[in-house]
Amino acid sequence: MTSSNDAGAPSARTLVKRYRHLAHYDRETIDAILDAMPVAHIAYLHEGQPIVTPTLQWREGDRVYWHGAAKGRMMRATEGADVCLTVSILDGLVLARSAFNFNVNHRSAMLFGKAEAVTDPKEKIRLLTRLVNGFAPDQWDKLRPATESEITATAILSLKIEEASAKVRSGPPEDNESDYAHPVWAGVLPIRLTVGAPEPDPRNSPGVAAPDLSGYSIG
């Protein structure tokens, strides 16, 4: 069964086949999901076995970036390799009138491609600056400056956003029309990610000014 919605799928493996009416292939939808949730789950092969590792991701233009210990399993196994990067946000549990129509409200984006290493130290510093300042504006310049060995020990990989799809579900259950008369409560239990008040390190020097973290939101 095809759907008019299938036309935007950039490849066979990105074509959403289950709940395909929830599929989106436009960059606006995909970028909004990537920008809302800093945690990605990246699947890769290591010694022939699939592994999925959660890690921070950040987007700049047409690319998603992640970083890690240059000597770590994830960074070594994903450099130059085929990966699948998924960002998902749970928005609610959907209680329907039949178990079969139970669902979750969610937003997820799935990207495929070869992970490419960022090797130029200046570009690595620029990207790490962006990561840090994405959490707290102008924070990078206030930090103890990064050393050359720290930059060397940090690998940064990226994936171009081209083979990508998104799935978005919101709203009440979609029950079989004949089930709506069944006398059971149906609805959504909403779930949200919230950012709490900053917790200062007990070892902070007296008088250091807290950064403006009020603009940071997630989910």
Interface region with a second copy, contact rule CB under 8 A, candidates 2-10, 12-20, 25-33, 115-123: 12-20
Q: In 121-140, which positions are buried (b, 16+ CB within 10 angstroms) versus exposed (e)?
A: eeebbebbbebbebebeeeb
Number of residues that bind a second copy (CB under 8 A): 98
d(CA 16, CA 106): 15
Nearest approach in angstroms of CB 150 to a second copy is 4
d(CA 163, CA 89): 20
Nearest approach in angstroms of CB 169 to a second copy is 12
By CB under 8 A, the residues from 144 to 203 that bind a second copy are: 144-147, 150, 153-154, 172-173, 175, 179-203
Nearest approach in angstroms of CB 63 to a second copy is 19
Total residues belonging to the chain: 219
Whether the Cβ atoms of residue 66 and residue 40 lie closer than 8 Å to each other: yes
Interface region with a second copy, contact rule CB under 8 A, candidates 2-10, 20-28, 115-123, 143-151: 143-151
d(CA 97, CA 187): 9
Nearest approach in angstroms of CB 209 to a second copy is 6
CA of 63: how far to CAs of 67, 162, 163, 171, in Å?
Answer: 13, 9, 12, 30
Nearest approach in angstroms of CB 113 to a second copy is 11
Determine, following the binding rule CB under 8 A, whether residue 113 of this chain makes contact with a second copy: no
Q: Which of 20, 63, 98, 130 binds a second copy (CB under 8 A)?
A: 98
Neighbours of 118 (CB within 10 A): 18
Residue of 58, 201, 216 whose CA lies nearest to 126: 58
By CB under 8 A, the residues from 33 to 92 that bind a second copy are: 38-39, 41-47, 49-54, 56, 68-69, 72-73, 82-86, 88, 90, 92
* Closer of 106 and 158 to a second copy (Cβ): 106
Nearest approach in angstroms of CB 131 to a second copy is 8
